Amino acid sequence: MIDSAPLLSFYLHIPYCLRRCGYCDFNTYTPGELRTGSDLSEVSQGYIDLMIAEIDQSPAGIEIPTIFFGGGTPTLMEPEDLGRVLRHLEIRNGLTSDCEITIEANPDTVTAEKLERLRAIGINRISFGMQSATTHVLKTLDRTHNPENVLKATAGAVAAGFEQISVDLIYGAPGESVSDWTQTIETALALPITHISAYALIVEDGTKLGAQVKRGEIVMPDEDETADKYLLADSKFSEAGLNWYEISNWAKPGAECKHNVAYWEGKNWWGVGPGAHSHLDGRRWWNVKHPTAYRDRVAKGQSPLQGEEILTASEKESERVMLEIRMPAGIELSTLGSAAAARISNYLASGHINAQIWEQGRLSLTLSGRLIADRIVREILV
């Protein structure tokens, strides 16, 4: 298994937030949910040691091309503690010379001084949760950050020496007009960034927002309006020199997120922390979700594994198709078979598939095709 995995990325999950956003269904916990009061340092005390202990359960000596601190809110942790994890990985496995090390950040949780400390420990890419530039949309999403802090945070990241800076946007929130979304796009493009992720809002069961929608307190916009917002975003991002390299991601040349590309290309990664998922050569597993259960197992030297699966050849093929179609290079037609190619050939005439690239032997979606990528995938996999 190890011989076929010359590189191994790491996802490092920090499962803590000061409060939960109304749309969020990620595996994160507030101090109140963990019944420990409001002192986050008490909640997270010793967590770094647990992460290092779990890392020691992973294969050693395999060089690391990307590391991603996700959450939760990783920037709530002390940079020097995060640095202990990085140093352990570097000593134990080694980092590639161009290793990409990303951290997600809430704009309200960083200062100029903290950004300098994050850069000093070796983190070289930062992704800020901006979501929207309009106050009423942020309120609907139950986000607490001040929109003005995004500008301060990105400027601080530049001053601290970060060359790769990203913002995450959400469109299609209830009450968001096209004018609101345009303002968000233009505000984001005025920032000193190299990358944008833009996702349509998905209402998940079990969230505060999901309950509001079920009760009829909030009405979601129709699909056509949301699609128009995607088209608007792609147009403005492209004009600003950010090219799409995955359906929901745009970057300046060379600023693509290598860690996420590794996911989409089916590479190997090890997920550390409660609820984290991992993948090694077709074997997939996931950790226990609750921080208490995670701590209890890892502290005893046990694996935090909750479940696992070995992907069948059919499952691997389905995942390959679903992921490759989301990127500009698309799918090599010879890997689909003549029957699947025939089933989707009508999308050439409708303009959803790039005809020129099809003639070169690959399936690549046009802009309109990206809007119906899931439908095309279903027809391929019939």
In contact, 309 and 284? CB cutoff 8 Å: yes
In contact, 115 and 108? CB cutoff 8 Å: no
Give the pLDDT band of residue 297 (cuts 50, 70, 90): very high
DSSP string, 83-133: HHHHHHHHHHT-EEEEEEEEEEE-GGG--HHHHHHHHHTT--EEEEEEE-S
3-state helix, strand, coil in the chain (%, to 5): 40, 20, 35
Express each pLDDT in 110-135 by its tens digit: 999 999 999 999 999 999 999 999 99
CA-to-CA distance for 209 and 227, rounded, in angstroms?
A: 21
Q: Report the pLDDT averaged over residues 67-72.
A: 94
Please check the confidence at residue 139 and state whether its pLDDT lies above 80.
Answer: yes
In contact, 220 and 271? CB cutoff 8 Å: no
Domains, in order of start, for the chain: 9-264 (3.80.30.20), 314-380 (no CATH)
Q: For the chain, give me the number of helices (H) and strands (E)?
A: 17, 14
Q: Is 358 helix (H, G, I), strand (E, B) or coil?
A: helix
Task: Kindly tell me the sign of the dihedral angle through the C-alpha atoms of 71, 77, 80, 84.
Answer: negative
In contact, 373 and 326? CB cutoff 8 Å: yes
CA-to-CA distance for 297 and 173, rounded, in angstroms?
A: 39
Express each pLDDT in 227-277 by its tens digit: 999 999 999 999 999 999 999 999 999 999 999 999 999 999 999 999 999
Q: Is 231 helix (H, G, I), strand (E, B) or coil?
A: helix
Q: Is 134 helix (H, G, I), strand (E, B) or coil?
A: coil
What are residue 317's DSSP bridge partners? Answer: none
Q: Is the peptide bond before 72 cis (omega within 30 degrees of 0)?
A: yes
Among residues 146, 116, 122, the alpha carbon closest in space to that of 133 is found at 146
CA-to-CA distance for 20 and 234, rounded, in angstroms?
A: 30
In contact, 133 and 147? CB cutoff 8 Å: yes
Count of beta carbons in the 10 Å neighbourhood of residue 130: 29
Express each pLDDT in 317-346 by its tens digit: 999 999 999 999 999 999 998 999 999 999
Indicate the residue type of 235: S
Q: What is the pLDDT of residue 5?
A: 47
Please check the confidence at residue 353 and state whether its pLDDT lies above 60.
Answer: yes
Q: What is the pLDDT of residue 215?
A: 78
Indicate the residue type of 183: Q
Better-predicted residue by pLDDT, 361 or 213: 361
CA-to-CA distance for 95 and 61, rounded, in angstroms?
A: 10
Q: What is the pLDDT of residue 4?
A: 47
CA-to-CA distance for 43 and 308, rounded, in angstroms?
A: 28
pTM over 0.85: yes
Q: For the chain, give the percent of residues with pLDDT over 90.
A: 78
The full length of the chain comes to 382
Please check the confidence at residue 42 and state whether its pLDDT lies above 60.
Answer: no
